[in-house]
Amino acid sequence: MHSFGHSYIHPLQNSEGVALPKKFTFPFYYEPHPLCVQAASQLQLYLENQTDFVHNFGLDPAMDGLVIGKMFGVMVVKQADGTLGYLAAFSGKLAESNDLKGFVPPIFDTLDETGFYKIGEAKLNQLNKEIETFENAVELKKAKTKLTELKEASQKELAAFKSLMKVEKLKRNQQREEAKQLLSVQAYDVLFNKLKTESIRYQLELKRLKKEWDKKIEHAEMQLSALLEPINQLKEKRALLSASLQKRLHEQYQFLNAEGETKDLLAIFKNTVSPNPPAGSGECAAPKLFQYAYKNKLQPIAMAEFWWGASPKSEVRKHKQFYPSCRSKCEPILGHMMQGLNVEDNPIEKNISYDKDLEIVYEDDYLLLVNKPHEFLSVPGKTYNESVLTKMKRYLPKAKGPLLVHRLDMSTSGLLLVAKSERIHKQLQKQFIGRTVKKRYVALLNGELEQVSGQIDLPLRVDLDNRPQQLVCYEYGKPAVTNYEVVAIENGKTRIHFYPITGRTHQLRVHAAHIDGLKTPIVGDDLYGTKTDRLHLHAEQLTFTHPVTKELLNIVCEAPF
């Protein structure tokens, strides 16, 4: 399949006998339906062999140009005659275009040269050029330099004069002290008044100097202000044009839903945390797929999105792997677009409970260590209260203080340290802050590692577009360092020990999966790898000094996998 043809609806091969899903895919947490896997395979085969467009995905080392991997989406749809087909879409632009043969069209074509957006963009570019010309003018640079030099000269001369005044004041004080011993009262009064007049003269001179410099500086500021005025006017004009262009653009993005209702971006984001739609809202694959399906009376059956190309430097993105829709842009939009559709429940919102008592691995009068089950919260969340903390409060009704000394990600199982009093909590926390607590995690990686041991140093920050996922970011990320040691390789999987030096959110998961880390995600990682029955990551060992007995405790809780 080297060409997509002219139709937007592509035939699904080998779909006979595959049962349709009872509900439409929940796009933010899903396992792709077999029909979507089939559609994605067909699209990927096309991408591997196509000659319709040129784009550097980073898969061909010989190819020139900027490497840009892409998210692609497929939506299985039922046509009016009951036959199945699939739609294909890409996020953003592809090959410098947002409307390519065989892929559903954009919600609004921002690249249309005759459209208001391109015309407005050209006006903005012209304003930017004018502003740049004014800002690079020789007269402006001279005026700025002159003002800086005057201010520096003013400070220098005034500082020197104040130093002179201090020296002269000391001299006058000395003269007064000596005169008290030597002169008569009458002669001393004459000298006192003379010295007083001298002091006033210095103060008046300082005022005069200040006034003189203020006048020079004010004149230079007026000259600079006159040169800046046209720049400020142009910037104001640019801001107004940009705001009106953005508003008009947001109004053009009209999204349908299954009930036939239409809302624009401004209406969709009105009651969200950020009422201003993020840049690129509506340009992702998922909204394009829904829009085309609704406009053409096609029934959405299932959907999936996958990454095509080299992994970016910040996110964890693997070639051909399926990923959920982004949250910051798509969650409000798809929330509207899926109204009227029978959608799968959000599995994350299913009741997080653990009916049994928690396993206590070690306990004494001052502290205890508990084995946290996987997919169970350390502390209460926004929606669910049940957690290790709430269970510990019931188990230790007389205990005071925060109890939990540290936390584990919900998906991670293993040792959690609990203090029975505020004093013990503070002492234990001090050890964590001082990094004297030794932690060992065991994980199973989805692949075979060549390296036997080493260190991963990749700074992390939250992905603002896709919370709670983390990004590698050298500019704003917090330091994140992990030592590791391979234990065994079995059935194409690597059993590994992680020794985290820092304790960032998802640190071990990102360090394992990232292209600059181990490039091998943890088995069952639904965020950075492939979902299975569980995340195979377990906090296996904690070594710390007992705050009362001063004994070195080394507590081990073996992994259940």
Question: Residue 130 falls within a domain, yes or no?
Answer: no
**CATH assignment at residue 415:** 3.30.2350.10
Q: Are residues 281 and 296 in the same domain?
A: yes
Residue 195 identity (one-letter amino acid): L
Question: Residue 438 falls within a domain, yes or no?
Answer: yes
Question: Residue 213 falls within a domain, yes or no?
Answer: yes
Question: Residue 388 falls within a domain, yes or no?
Answer: yes
Q: Tell me the two tokens of residue 30.
A: 């899903």
Which residues lie closer than 8 Å to 422 by C-beta, 6 or more apart?
400, 401, 402
pLDDT of res. 1: 43
Q: Are residues 517 and 382 in the same domain?
A: yes
Q: Which helix (H) or strand (E) holds 481?
A: strand 481-490
Number of separate helices (H) and strands (E) present in the chain: 10, 18
- Of 286, 320, 346, which marks where a domain is finished? 346
Q: Residue 210, class by beta-carbon neighbours within 10 Å (0-12 exposed, 13-18 middle, 19+ buried)? A: middle
Question: Residue 234 falls within a domain, yes or no?
Answer: no
Identify whether the C-beta of residue 387 lies closer than 8 Å to the C-beta of residue 377.
Answer: yes
Q: Domain range spanning residue 483?
A: 351-556
Domain count, the chain: 3
457 classed as catalytic = no
- Of 346, 379, 414, which marks where a domain is finished? 346
pLDDT of res. 351: 59
Q: Are residues 335 and 367 in the same domain?
A: no
Q: Are residues 183 and 286 in the same domain?
A: no
Q: Are residues 369 and 342 in the same domain?
A: no
- Of 303, 327, 346, which marks where a domain is finished? 346
Question: Residue 123 falls within a domain, yes or no?
Answer: no
Q: Are residues 175 and 88 in the same domain?
A: no
Instruction: Look at residues 441, 432, 531, 517 and name the one whose alpha carbon lies nearest to residue 472.
Output: 517
- What is d(CA 300, CA 295) in angstroms, rounded to the nearest whole number? 12
The catalytically annotated residue of 409, 463, 525, 526 is: 409
Question: Exposure pattern of 336-373 as b/e (b: 16+ CB <10 Å)?
Answer: bbbeebebeeeeeeeebebeeebeebeeeebbbbbbbe
Q: Are strands 322-323 and 10-11 parallel, antiparallel or unpaired?
A: unpaired
561 residues of the chain, pLDDT tens digit each: 445 766 899 999 877 888 999 999 999 989 899 999 999 999 999 999 999 999 999 999 999 889 999 999 999 999 999 999 999 999 999 999 999 999 999 999 888 888 899 999 999 999 999 999 999 999 999 999 999 999 999 999 999 999 999 999 999 999 999 999 899 999 999 999 999 999 999 999 999 999 999 999 999 999 999 999 999 999 999 999 999 999 999 999 999 999 999 999 999 999 887 788 988 999 999 999 999 999 999 999 999 999 999 999 998 999 999 999 988 899 999 999 999 999 998 876 665 677 788 999 999 999 999 999 999 999 987 777 789 999 999 999 999 889 999 999 999 999 999 999 999 999 999 999 999 999 999 999 999 999 999 999 999 999 987 888 999 999 999 999 999 999 999 999 999 999 999 999 999 999 999 999 999 999 999 889 888 889 999 999 999 999 999 999 999 999 999
Q: Are residues 162 and 301 in the same domain?
A: no
- What is d(CA 539, CA 416) in angstroms, rounded to the nearest whole number? 8
CA distances from 267 to 2, 30, 83, 273, 333 (A): 41, 27, 35, 13, 10
Q: Are residues 501 and 375 in the same domain?
A: yes
Q: Are residues 152 and 290 in the same domain?
A: no
Secondary structure of residue 240 in the 3-state scheme: helix
pLDDT of res. 5: 64
Q: Are residues 196 and 312 in the same domain?
A: no
- What is d(CA 111, CA 284) in angstroms, rounded to the nearest whole number? 16
Q: Are residues 293 and 410 in the same domain?
A: no
94: DSSP letter: B
Secondary structure of residue 206 in the 3-state scheme: helix
- What is d(CA 263, CA 157) in angstroms, rounded to the nearest whole number? 65
Question: Residue 117 falls within a domain, yes or no?
Answer: no
**pTM of the model as a whole:** 0.78
- What is d(CA 290, CA 299) in angstroms, rounded to the nearest whole number? 9
pLDDT of res. 6: 66
Question: Residue 131 falls within a domain, yes or no?
Answer: no
Secondary structure of residue 114 in the 3-state scheme: coil
pLDDT of res. 382: 75
Q: Are residues 278 and 418 in the same domain?
A: no
